[in-house]
């Protein structure tokens, strides 16, 4: 694809003709630019080298109606883009790279049972015992790897890593003020202006407001991804605790929008998901995964319903699997394996 802006031309012609965006296309409305790509995988941020186009606000207004009306098209609203100028005024926005790192048994389970958290005993000890000590261990600090490689400065977790479904979180006081401002992003500058890195973001998807934040770490700032459905009492609690949050989505967190907002609002360039199967499965379905590190312990767990590497909704009838390209394999003398894959181009 040439650098001379055919994509931009396409977008303009789409805007002029008011044709609905085709099913599977993404449109991303920035504050002053509309971005459209035809490849859902990139969530409106990059297709090949030149898939992002932007048009001035006037054009964005022209297409806002048709985009919103195109019920079948997949699109996301994004706030302000982390923008850099492209040629001829084309604005480029790249979504952060998403790398998933999971530890699993050979049968792909990421926990021992549906409702036991790995960070709690006895699961933590039983899980550690699945990996025999080896003189040549395959385990590496993946965060360190992606920090070096991509400048990764954010971890992503689901609430399921921190709170079991059967847990009843501590009740929060009702909020009796005006709730409107609670549903704005909460990004206090005394946190967001800290240099990052070294500051890292510990991001948790939590539209139901289940996580209670009880620990501080001076090198990590918590960032909660919430939705318009999140209880006001929880957002008020986050504000009282001075914990950053982004409101991204309606009924639950809209993951493409969330990942985009992490770039646009906080300049995050790469996200390492260390989540369980629920969130990773949702990232997979949203076409947001770029790379996977899978570290297998020489053990079998079994059990229908036990969280696995990728859960979430099943494929639609006739929908193809996501192809992977193997980047590396490491094994140790005691039977653990580390696999590194990139998601193949679709
Ligand atoms: N072995 C490992 O490497 C590893 C790593 C992490 C966790 N684990 C274990 O895995 C288990 C937890 O796994 P899990 O699958 O229950 O939890 P999970 O991966 O945390 O999945 C649930 C989270 O994903 C969000 N989510 C799910 N589908 C979504 C969608 N379509 N759109 C937006 N958000 C969506 C949920 O959001 P809402 O809050 O809005 O519902 C919730 O925050 C625990 O036992 C944990 O210890 C293992």
pLDDT at position 161, please? 96
Cα dihedral 317/319/322/323 (nearest 10): 120
Instruction: Give the pLDDT confidence of 251-279 residue by residue, as tens digits.
Output: 999 998 899 889 878 888 899 999 999 99
Cα–Cα distances in Å, from 89 out to 5, 8, 12, 36, 55? 10, 10, 14, 16, 9
Segment (H or E) for 296: strand 291-297
In a domain, 199, yes or no: yes
In a domain, 26, yes or no: yes
**Concatenated DSSP letters for 52-76?**
---B-HHHHHHHHHHHHH-TTS--E
Averaged over 116-131, what is the pLDDT? 96
The SS3 call for residue 317 is coil
- Domain match, 187 and 297 both: yes
Instruction: Give the pLDDT confidence of 4-22 residue by residue, as tens digits.
Output: 222 222 332 333 333 333 4
pLDDT at position 197, please? 77
Give the nearest ligand 1 atom to 312 CA: 28
In a domain, 1, yes or no: no
Instruction: Give the pLDDT confidence of 60-102 residue by residue, as tens digits.
Output: 322 333 333 222 223 332 222 333 333 333 334 457 899 999 9
Place 133 in a pLDDT band, splitting at 50, 70 and 90.
very high
Rounded CA gap, 14 and 322, in Å? 30
In a domain, 330, yes or no: yes
The DSSP bridge partners found for residue 156 are: 203, 273
Evaluate if residue 111 carries a pLDDT over 70.
yes
Averaged pLDDT score across all residues of the chain = 78
Rounded CA gap, 186 and 296, in Å? 38
- Domain match, 27 and 53 both: yes
255 lines ligand 1 (CB under 6 A): yes
- Domain match, 13 and 44 both: yes
252 lines ligand 1 (CB under 6 A): yes
- Domain match, 268 and 233 both: yes
The SS3 call for residue 82 is coil
Ligand 1 mean position to 280 CA, how many Å? 7
- Domain match, 102 and 238 both: yes
Last residue of a domain, one of 73, 92, 111: 92
Evaluate if residue 113 carries a pLDDT over 70.
yes
Instruction: Calculate the CA 97 to chain-centre distance.
Output: 9
Rounded CA gap, 132 and 336, in Å? 8
- Domain match, 190 and 302 both: yes
pTM: 0.79
Least confident segment among 42-56, 118-132, 211-225, 304-318: 42-56
If one compares 32 and 230, the residue with the highest pLDDT of the two is: 230
Which residue has the CA at smallest separation from atom 40 of ligand 1?
207
CATH of the domain at 235: 3.40.430.10
- Domain match, 110 and 66 both: no
Evaluate if residue 44 carries a pLDDT over 50.
no
φ and ψ at residue 160, rounded to 5 degrees: -65, -20
Ligand 1 mean position to 164 CA, how many Å? 10
Taking each helix axis as running N to C, give the angle between helix 57-69 and helix 6-17, from 0 to 180 degrees, rounded to the nearest 10.
Answer: 60
Rounded CA gap, 177 and 324, in Å? 50
Question: DSSP code of 4?
Answer: T
If one compares 20 and 179, the residue with the highest pLDDT of the two is: 179
pLDDT at position 345, please? 66
- Domain match, 74 and 123 both: no
The DSSP bridge partners found for residue 248 are: none
- Domain match, 190 and 304 both: yes
249 lines ligand 1 (CB under 6 A): no
Ligand 1 mean position to 160 CA, how many Å? 4
Place 340 in a pLDDT band, splitting at 50, 70 and 90.
very high
pLDDT at position 99, please? 96
Task: For the chain, give the percent of residues with pLDDT over 70.
Answer: 72
Last residue of a domain, one of 92, 110, 129: 92
- Domain match, 22 and 131 both: no
109 lines ligand 1 (CB under 6 A): no
Which residue has the CA at smallest separation from atom 25 of ligand 1?
279
In a domain, 161, yes or no: yes
pLDDT at position 256, please? 87
pLDDT at position 269, please? 85
pLDDT at position 196, please? 82
Evaluate if residue 294 carries a pLDDT over 50.
yes
Rounded CA gap, 90 and 84, in Å? 9
pLDDT at position 215, please? 87
In a domain, 324, yes or no: yes
Rounded CA gap, 221 and 295, in Å? 27
312 lines ligand 1 (CB under 6 A): yes
- Domain match, 83 and 102 both: no
pLDDT at position 346, please? 57
Token look-up 């099913």 returns 23
Structural domain span for residue 209: 97-343
Rounded CA gap, 268 and 262, in Å? 6
In the chain, alpha helices (H): 6-17, 57-69, 123-129, 142-150, 189-192, 232-240, 255-266, 277-285
In a domain, 211, yes or no: yes
Segment (H or E) for 91: strand 91-92
- Domain match, 45 and 102 both: no
Instruction: Give the pLDDT confidence of 216-235 residue by residue, as tens digits.
Output: 888 899 999 999 999 999 99
Pairing of the two strands 97-105 and 291-297? parallel
In a domain, 174, yes or no: yes
**Number of domains composing the chain:** 2
């Amino acid at each position: 694809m040439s650098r001379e802006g055919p994509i931009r031309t396409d977008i303009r012609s789409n805007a002029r003709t008011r044709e609905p965006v085709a099913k599977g296309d993404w449109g991303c409305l920035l504050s002053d630019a509309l971005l459209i790509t035809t490849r859902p995988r990139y969530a409106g941020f990059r297709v090949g080298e030149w898939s992002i186009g932007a048009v001035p606000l006037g054009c964005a207004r022209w297409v806002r109606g048709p985009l919103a009306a195109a019920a079948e098209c997949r699109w996301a609203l994004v706030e302000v883009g982390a923008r850099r100028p492209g040629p001829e005024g084309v604005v480029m926005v790249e979504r952060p790279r998403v790398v998933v790192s999971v530890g699993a048994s050979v049968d792909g389970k990421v926990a021992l049972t549906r409702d036991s958290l790995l960070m709690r005993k006895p699961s933590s000890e039983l899980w550690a015992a699945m990996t025999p000590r080896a003189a040549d261990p395959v385990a590496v600090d993946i965060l360190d790897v992606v920090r070096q490689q991509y400048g990764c400065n954010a971890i992503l977790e689901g609430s399921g890593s921190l709170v079991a479904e059967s847990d009843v979180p501590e009740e929060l006081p009702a909020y009796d003020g005006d709730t409107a401002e609670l549903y704005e992003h909460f990004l206090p500058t005394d946190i967001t202006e800290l240099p990052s890195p070294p500051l890292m973001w510990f991001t948790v998807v939590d539209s139901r407001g289940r996580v209670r934040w009880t620990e501080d770490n001076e090198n990590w700032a918590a960032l909660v991804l919430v939705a318009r459905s999140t209880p006001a009492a929880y957002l008020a609690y986050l504000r009282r605790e001075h914990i950053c949050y982004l409101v991204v989505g309606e009924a639950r967190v809209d993951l493409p929008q969330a990942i985009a907002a992490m770039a646009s609002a906080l300049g995050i360039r790469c996200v390492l998901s260390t989540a369980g199967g629920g969130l990773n499965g949702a990232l997979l379905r949203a076409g947001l995964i770029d790379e996977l590190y899978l570290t297998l312990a020489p053990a079998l767990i079994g059990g229908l319903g036990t969280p696995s590497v990728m859960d979430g909704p099943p494929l639609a009838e006739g929908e193809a699997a996501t192809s992977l390209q193997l980047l590396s394999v490491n094994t140790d003398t005691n039977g653990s394996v580390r696999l590194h894959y990139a998601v193949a181009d679709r």
